[in-house]
Amino acid sequence: MMIHEEMSRKNPGNQTYLRKDAVAACILMTVLLAAGFPALAGAHSPKEVALSYDQAKKTVEVRITHGVDDPMKHFIDKVEIRKDGKTISKVEYKNQPGETTFLYSYPVDVAPGDVLEVKASCSRFGSKTEKLTVVK
């Protein structure tokens, strides 16, 4: 009991109220931040980036899964292709052709053993990168 009385003299305010005020302030800040950044709430990286190489057409096919409600506002805005570490193509988009999964083809001349790396970036947040080693 003596310890409690000593603490009361040092801090005459009620500590319970201080904790409740701090919790309320944290909740209020969280709500304000969420309201200030609504675009980030629905933002996400592509779910899947699948690569294949068509030897006959000399193209890399990129199948992207990125589920969105409105492909005109939230979409894959950039696809970058690197071959053996060097950027060989960077294509920017203003929308995506579907609400979930779609396919892009890019002309790429490769030899067996070349490593292709494709990075698909979301217009709002995040990206996904996949690699493909070309075999004969």
Phi/psi at 134 (nearest 5 deg)? -75, 130
95-132 pLDDT, tens digit each: 999 889 999 999 999 999 999 999 999 999 899 999 99
Answer whether 74's CB lies under 8 Å from 50's CB: no
**Would you call 40 helix, strand, or coil by DSSP?**
helix
pTM of model > 0.95? no
d(CA 33, CA 76) in angstroms, rounded, equals 25
d(CA 96, CA 3) in angstroms, rounded, equals 66
Answer whether 89's CB lies under 8 Å from 78's CB: no
- pLDDT greater than 50 at residue 87: yes
H-helix or E-strand spanning residue 22: helix 15-36
34-86 pLDDT, tens digit each: 555 554 445 678 899 999 999 999 999 999 999 988 989 999 999 999 999 99
Rg value, the chain, Cα: 26
